[in-house]
């Protein structure tokens, strides 16, 4: 029996995505020996409903000096984080000498605005490469994982935090017991812990199974977050839907009784009950839909190859590792994947080893079709690559179903 990392209840598996590599580990050509693989499977806790991976990947393997993801890479995300920082400045950081902490600050895209406002701050970022970029932007960074011991050390050195924020990071952390004890140790009595992550409701609705990979250990719902918060003396006091990254929810947690929950919490709980997010039938149906997407996508790509068409991938995202390895899509079906991140270029995609090229390669000689792995940035990318469509090129999408546009 697999035990829930939050409450110790039994976790029942409902989806197996097979043997997978590290989603952000791009090997050099000729250097693929010893590539790390694990079994990517998902289950639901029968007690607290938390959806989680069945197998944990060691954090040091995922978040390290060469971690290649930069939050500033998208103009949409830059604007999102700027507005988020300004909102905190206007609401939670209005007292005397406030202190703001971000867990997983990446390249400082949000904290830069906080720093420029002269507010005391600290970012936790264990990946040295992106942390150094944040420092170059004037951000104060600690290259550690956030957990109980490091939070206590920060409290002793800097005093309590008025607000703790995290984006696309809390779902990465299996040891949420230590993290929440750290939040408890660091947060002021009236402070808030705010985090946003991919939302299981959107993943099920859109069949966006590529949101499931090694870094996304948890797939949160309002109900599971509410139960998690209560176990550690906190209360879920607000929820907000966010359109970024294919559908996220921002959760606001405060000490129990410190703030009155907004009506949005009860409203989303009712929506989840109506959707049946905690029901085995719904999750098993999601697994069946994932299998259909694999069949349809492989059939389409094989047919295009037989017809002599060229296909390139667009966006060497972490999500794409799940798709290509689960579906068995390699260089025989996709010639290359283009990406704007220099750290990924001239390397191979995880597991299936599709060459990764700069986006200039894409524009130099357009393929007949482009498989859009970065579908959550579809509007931004399609506007940028308008000439591709004008040249006769077509996009292949697989969320919520396989189609050509």
Predicted confidence (pLDDT) per residue in 297-354, tens digit: 999 999 999 999 999 999 999 999 999 999 999 999 999 999 998 989 999 999 999 9
Instruction: For residue 95, give both structure tokens.
Output: 């007292």
Topology adopted by domain 71-280: Rossmann fold (3.40.50)
pLDDT at residue 69, as a whole number: 58
Phi, psi for residue 397 in degrees, rounded to 5: -115, 155
Q: pLDDT tier at 76 (50, 70, 90 boundaries)?
A: confident
- The answer on pLDDT for 265 being more than 70 is yes
Which of 101, 185, 178 is closest to 147 using CA atoms? 178
Distance separating alpha carbons of residues 107 and 55, to the nearest angstrom: 28
Strand, helix or coil at 128?
helix
Predicted confidence (pLDDT) per residue in 373-390, tens digit: 999 889 989 999 999 999
Residue 328 near residue 387, CB atoms below 8 Å: no
For 24-44, b where at least 16 C-beta lie within 10 A, e where not — what string?
A: bbbbeeeeeeeeeebebbbbb
Distance separating alpha carbons of residues 225 and 216, to the nearest angstrom: 15
**Residues 199, 201, 204, 210: what is their CA dihedral angle, to the nearest 10 degrees?**
-10
Q: pLDDT tier at 65 (50, 70, 90 boundaries)?
A: low
Comparing 71-280 with 281-404, is the CATH topology the same?
Answer: yes
In the chain, domain spans: 71-280, 281-404
Predicted confidence (pLDDT) per residue in 105-129, tens digit: 999 999 999 999 999 999 999 888 8
Predicted confidence (pLDDT) per residue in 11-38, tens digit: 999 999 999 999 989 999 988 888 999 9
Task: State pTM to two decimals.
Answer: 0.91
- Mean pLDDT of all residues in 239-253: 90
Predicted confidence (pLDDT) per residue in 147-204, tens digit: 999 999 999 999 999 999 999 999 999 999 999 999 999 999 999 999 999 999 999 9
Looking at domain 281-404, its CATH superfamily turns out to be NAD(P)-binding Rossmann-like Domain (3.40.50.720)
- Mean pLDDT of all residues in 96-104: 97
pLDDT at residue 375, as a whole number: 93
- The answer on pLDDT for 63 being more than 70 is no
Parallel, antiparallel or unpaired: strands 161-167 and 187-198: parallel
């Amino acid at each position: 029996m697999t035990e829930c990392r939050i409450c110790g209840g039994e976790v029942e598996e409902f989806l197996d995505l097979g043997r997978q590599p590290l989603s952000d580990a791009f090997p050099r050509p000729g250097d693929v020996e010893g590539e790390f693989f694990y079994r990517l499977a998902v289950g639901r806790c029968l007690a607290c409903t938390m959806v989680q991976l069945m197998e944990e990947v060691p954090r040091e393997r995922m978040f390290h000096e060469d971690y290649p993801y930069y939050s500033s890479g998208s103009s949409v995300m830059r604007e999102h984080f700027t507005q988020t920082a300004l909102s905190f400045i206007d609401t939670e950081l209005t007292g005397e000498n406030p202190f703001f902490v971000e867990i997983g600050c990446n390249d400082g895209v949000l904290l830069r605005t906080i720093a420029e406002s002269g507010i005391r701050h600290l970012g936790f970022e264990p990946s040295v490469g992106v942390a150094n970029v944040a420092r170059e932007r004037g951000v104060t960074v600690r290259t550690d994982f956030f957990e109980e011991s490091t939070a206590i050390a920060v409290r002793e050195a800097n005093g309590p935090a008025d607000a703790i924020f995290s984006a696309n990071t809390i779902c990465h952390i299996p040891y949420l017991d230590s993290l929440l004890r750290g939040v408890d140790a660091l947060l002021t009595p009236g402070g808030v812990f705010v985090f946003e992550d991919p939302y299981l409701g959107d993943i099920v609705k859109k069949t966006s199974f590529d949101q499931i990979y090694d870094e996304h250990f948890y797939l949160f719902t309002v109900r599971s977050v509410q139960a998690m918060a209560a176990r550690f003396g906190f209360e879920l006091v607000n929820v907000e839907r966010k359109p970024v990254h294919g559908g996220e929810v921002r959760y606001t947690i405060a000490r129990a009784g410190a703030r009155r929950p907004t009506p949005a919490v009860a409203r989303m709980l009712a929506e989840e009950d109506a959707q049946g997010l905690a029901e085995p039938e719904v999750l098993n149906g999601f697994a069946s839909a994932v299998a259909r997407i694999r069949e349809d996508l492989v059939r389409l790509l094989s047919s295009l190859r037989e017809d002599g068409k060229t296909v390139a991938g667009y966006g060497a995202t972490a999500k794409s590792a799940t798709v290509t390895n689960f579906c068995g899509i390699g260089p025989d079906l996709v010639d290359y994947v283009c990406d704007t991140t220099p750290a990924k270029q001239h390397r191979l995609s995880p597991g299936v080893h599709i060459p990764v090229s700069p986006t200039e390669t894409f524009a130099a000689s357009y393929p007949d079709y482009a498989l859009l792995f970065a579908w959550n940035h579809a509007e931004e990318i399609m506007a940028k690559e308008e000439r591709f469509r004008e040249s006769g090129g077509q996009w292949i999408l697989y969320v919520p179903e396989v189609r050509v546009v």
